[in-house]
Structure 1
């Protein structure tokens, strides 16, 4: 567990949690929520270190060294585990994992301070596993902390949410996000473009600027325009969009770009608006399909055919 430099929004959330902890107002269970990528895990990790070894551990502190190595016996971390054949990670957090966690939380802390358990992402816990966790939430033992990290807290069962305190890391004000992006060395124009594309999410904007996501977005915009004008072949474009690890991001950008078209106040044609809205929904459904066994290129073909034919109108219809 490395010590990272917090963003201002992470620092605010950490300070709030720390104040509650120090004043005895932090309960045994907490939902730490906020958009994916906003930095929830780093806040939880820092708070766990405080609970288990203090704010600034002395050099050579045993607890801090064990935390850094991921082997502290009083810090339980629950996430995706490999499938039985070991070829990939499960898509859910399952009941056996939660039962094991609950059993560990009944034991006396090995080093005497407390026990901390972090479930990340809590959105992935399945229904049976949630049921297994209820008793732990209903009958907490002193010195036990259970933190659920969630990008979509409303997906958690109401019976779980009602038994947890809530700590939210919100998207920062635009001026603060811009200042932070520019402090990372990016010019104002690029920062503004990326922040708009990321809908105000500064960490996402930064990753897109540093890892080619904005260039990919411009490529997608160009492809959509060329498809609409009949200048690109649908099948070849679909194969290219599905050919690498950026398929889901291409679809995200495509959906966002089409949504921006639909939001343009100059667009008053209700037929066009309806087509854009329908294609936006289709793009998001196709992105969900990429997580299944459906062939990505075939799903992309259907989507891009719908874009080409819908954009060019019924006179140019057909699926060839």
Structure 2
């Protein structure tokens, strides 16, 4: 009915049962890996909560929700900064105060109020303190749902006051069947699912947006670099020439990890080098979000890749 993936349907059914049995409290933490559809489930649950009354009222509610104009549903996320030229990277105290004010009001449609915060792990410290007060003073028919892919970033005081709805990666067979239902071939689905470490949402995204082809190209690029057919400077310019630099570095780190796994106990020296390069690739990916020149950081990383692949004479070991 909702077009849910199986893992979404399970989460929805579980929460709906608790809701209808009166076992769902004021605060709920919806957590789990990004890309599994947590927000979609939250919206569907809000639709159920707000669609009480007569059939005509329920239909009107669904129309308002679809248009994003229902007065009793509030979605909190990043807002523009003071200059208005980009979005903030945190959810700030003014937004949390707005939540408190909203939940103190009588529902305009007289049924309930729902506030959804996504991503909740972006709430800054002062805003968390304000949010805690709201969680500590629940009112009937008011729901505050926090969506997070990194719940450990939330204070324990907030997590302890929320019921948890946890999304987990589905079994491999279920994820593979779902990917095939999305129109992907068996071979591509298996390769993408393996690359995404069992995450079907990520695998689907990569297959739809040519991410899997990009991963293959990263593998070829590293091979060319290792045998001297390209230079670190040339490759860094290529990798940083579009918006996919961070994804390339993720794939490069994954490929290094795969090589480290195959090295195992047979080549401990190479294993250590690959593990160190894996860490360096992830640090470089983080640097891309700062003011550091990304191409220079990537050049340094790729030069280190050459050292990983240097073969020393046996007598020098």
Equivalent of 2:143 in 109, 125, 145: 145
- Provide, for residues 204-237 of structure 1, a one-character-per-residue CA deviation record: whole Å limited to 9, x for no partner: 1111111100000000001111111121111121
Q: Is the contact between residue 121 and residue 154 of structure 2 (CA under 8 Å) also seen in structure 1?
A: yes
Taking structure 2 as the reference length, what is the TM-score of the superposition? 0.94
Residues 1:301 and 2:315 aligned together = no
Structure 1 distance, partners of 2:54, 2:277, is: 52
Structure 2 distance, partners of 1:265, 1:209, is: 29
> Where does residue 176 of structure 2 map in the other structure?
178
Number of equivalences: 313
What are the residue-to-residue correspondences of 1:57-96 with 2, within 5 Å? 61-96=59-94
Q: Is the contact between residue 103 and residue 113 of structure 2 (CA under 8 Å) also seen in structure 1?
A: yes
Q: Is the contact between residue 226 and residue 305 of structure 2 (CA under 8 Å) also seen in structure 1?
A: yes
Structure 2: unaligned runs, 5 residues or longer: none
Equivalent position SS for 2:4: coil
Residues 1:195 and 2:193 aligned together = yes
Q: Is the contact between residue 238 and residue 297 of structure 1 (CA under 8 Å) also seen in structure 2?
A: yes
Deviation beyond 3 Å, 4+ runs, structure 1: 54-60
Structure 2 distance, partners of 1:198, 1:62, is: 40
Q: Which moved more, 1:286-295 or 1:76-85?
A: 286-295
Equivalent position SS for 1:72: coil
Structure 2 distance, partners of 1:85, 1:119, is: 23
> Where does residue 96 of structure 2 map in the other structure?
98
Taking structure 1 as the reference length, what is the TM-score of the superposition? 0.93
Equivalent of 1:253 in 251, 254, 262: 251
> Where does residue 117 of structure 1 map in the other structure?
115
Shift of 1:54: 4.5
Structure 2 distance, partners of 1:206, 1:127, is: 35
Q: CA 1:60–1:169 in 2, change beyond 3 Å: closer, same or farther?
A: closer
Residues 1:7 and 2:5 aligned together = yes
